[in-house]
């Protein structure tokens, strides 16, 4: 019988990778030696996998990263990557709150624990498909942008080699809520209400048969100012058209019936600028008297309520001719603010702002939206937020024949492409040049009856 001598096991050469079995975690571990650190301790990088072949593939990728100078900490996760990017930003607090809110609600719970080195394009695609069942396309764009920009920052600091989030196509998502624009009639009601005149609510009604029941302010269609719900078949009796006869304290507060006329029109100029010139809410909040030239009827939009104080884009820095109505409203507003300043005394904060609290403090975006909504409700057209005043300005200019380039310049867009895409629902098509030429060439003709 021939006895076979076993071949001696080949020893790993110096510098070769090592692969071993981890009994505790039940997986293969690949190790790459990077030499010795400053303290004389060996520096190693490790990868793990279920099979030897998987570990070998990861070791090859690791060698490519080492050659490229990339070092991803083993415990560095997608959540840490996004948090590092957010901490590096210097933006408006409201914008930062939006970014952090989306990350905390969608990114961290679903993929935050994933190690960045192991985050693949398939993971990003699966994540976006998952949240697309709930979110609109606009929200998906923002979430993907957060991921792409976070990983791009990690690339900058050699923490990852490839931006896998940028490779993924966005799913369709759910239909979003389209932005709205007021009609000319609705905008007129808002400006009328802002000037201290009753608008929208035109009659006083009683929603009960009781002798002492409260009377409410109502619109022509029967909508009640305080939002009181009328029970099915409850009798609604019209009392008259004098709104001062309203006894419901909530209706009176909603319409400002108990406030003096000056307080009711305190922010008239803000609504005029929003609806006639389309200033952004941040531009209205930061507008200072230094940039308002009432003698020449010009407003210089050079600042915004961002963290840096700059406007959104270089094209957003603009000087606009004020409509006559805006000049009148701003003159009255300046006198009113001077009286508020005297009343506040030492408590006045001299920020030189056109639109501010009674003590000079700048409005937050939420405070401005609340005041805008309160006025649109007072006008009887329901809840609208401040940015929709900008949409309204674009819509009214477009429907009255203002060229697209002039609209874009007025509202401070980077290009007409932005005006056409972002505000396409309010832009009226006015491509008539070809039709005019053809009528001149062939004649207008007589329409058949």
User: Could you tell me where the DSSP H helices lie in 35-136?
Assistant: 52-67, 78-88, 93-102, 108-111, 121-131
Q: Is 390 a catalytic residue?
A: yes
Active-site position among 189, 216, 390, 391: 390
Active-site position among 79, 216, 387, 413: 413
Q: Is 212 a catalytic residue?
A: no
Q: Is 318 a catalytic residue?
A: no
Report d(CA 181, CA 333) in Å as an integer: 26
Q: Is 4 a catalytic residue?
A: no
Active-site position among 307, 312, 315, 317: 312
Instruction: Give the side-chain half-sphere CA count within 13 A for 406.
Output: 12
Q: How far is CA 175 from CA 138, 143, 180, in A?
A: 9, 16, 15
Q: Which two tokens stand for residue 374?
A: 């309160």
Q: Is 312 a catalytic residue?
A: yes
Report d(CA 340, CA 255) in Å as an integer: 22
Number of Cβ within 10 Å of residue 59's Cβ equals: 20
Give the CA angle between residues 246, 251, 256 to the nearest 5°: 95
- For 264-304, the DSSP string reads HTTTHHHHHHHHHH---HHHHHH-BGGGEETTTTEEEE---
User: Under a CB-based contact definition with an 8 Å cutoff, are residues 316 and 304 in contact?
Assistant: yes
Active-site position among 280, 286, 377, 391: 280
Tokens 């996004």 map to which residue?
A: 82
Report d(CA 264, CA 286) in Å as an integer: 22
Catalytic residues: 280, 312, 390, 413, 423
């Amino acid at each position: 019988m021939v006895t076979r001598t076993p071949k001696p096991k080949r020893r790993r050469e110096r510098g070769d990778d090592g692969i071993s079995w981890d009994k505790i975690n039940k997986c293969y571990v690949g190790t790459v030696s990077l030499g010795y650190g400053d303290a004389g301790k060996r520096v190693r990088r490790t990868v793990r996998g279920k099979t030897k072949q998987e570990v070998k593939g990861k070791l090859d990728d690791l060698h490519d990263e080492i050659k490229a100078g990339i070092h991803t900490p083993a415990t560095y996760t997608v959540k840490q990557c996004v948090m590092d990017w957010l901490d590096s930003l210097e933006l408006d607090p409201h914008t930062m709150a939006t970014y952090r809110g989306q990350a905390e609600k969608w990114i961290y719970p679903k993929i935050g624990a994933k190690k960045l080195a192991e985050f693949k394009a398939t993971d990003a695609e699966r994540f976006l498909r998952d949240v697309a069942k709930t979110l609109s396309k606009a929200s998906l764009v923002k979430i993907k942008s957060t991921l792409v920009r976070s990983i791009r920052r990690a690339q900058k600091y050699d923490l990852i080699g490839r931006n896998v989030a940028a490779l993924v196509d966005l799913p369709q998502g759910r239909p979003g809520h389209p932005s709205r624009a007021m009609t000319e009639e609705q905008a007129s009601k808002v400006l009328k209400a802002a000037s201290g005149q009753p608008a929208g609510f035109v009659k006083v009604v009683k929603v009960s048969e009781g002798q002492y029941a409260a009377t409410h302010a109502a619109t022509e269609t029967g909508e009640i100012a305080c939002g009181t719900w009328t029970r099915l078949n409850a009798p609604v009796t019209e009392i008259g058209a004098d709104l001062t006869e309203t006894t419901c304290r909530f209706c009176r507060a909603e319409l400002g019936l108990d406030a003096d006329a000056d307080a009711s029109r305190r922010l008239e100029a803000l609504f005029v600028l929003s609806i006639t010139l389309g200033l952004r809410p941040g531009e209205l909040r930061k507008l200072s008297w230094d940039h308002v030239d009432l003698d020449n009827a010009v407003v210089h939009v050079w600042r915004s309520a961002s963290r840096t104080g700059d406007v959104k884009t270089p094209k957003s820095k603009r000087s606009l001719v004020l409509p006559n109505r805006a000049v009148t409203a701003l003159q009255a507003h300046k006198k009113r603010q001077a009286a508020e300043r005297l009343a506040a005394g030492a408590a006045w904060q001299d920020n030189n702002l056109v639109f501010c609290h009674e003590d000079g403090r700048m409005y937050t975006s939420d405070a401005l939206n609340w005041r805008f909504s309160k006025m649109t409700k007072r006008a009887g057209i329901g809840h609208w937020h401040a940015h929709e005043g900008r949409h309204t300005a674009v819509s009214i200019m477009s429907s009255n024949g203002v060229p697209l380039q002039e609209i874009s310049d007025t509202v401070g867009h980077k290009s007409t492409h932005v005006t056409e895409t972002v505000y396409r629902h309010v832009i009226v098509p006015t491509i008539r040049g070809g039709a005019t030429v053809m009528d001149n060439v062939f004649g207008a003709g007589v329409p058949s009856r």
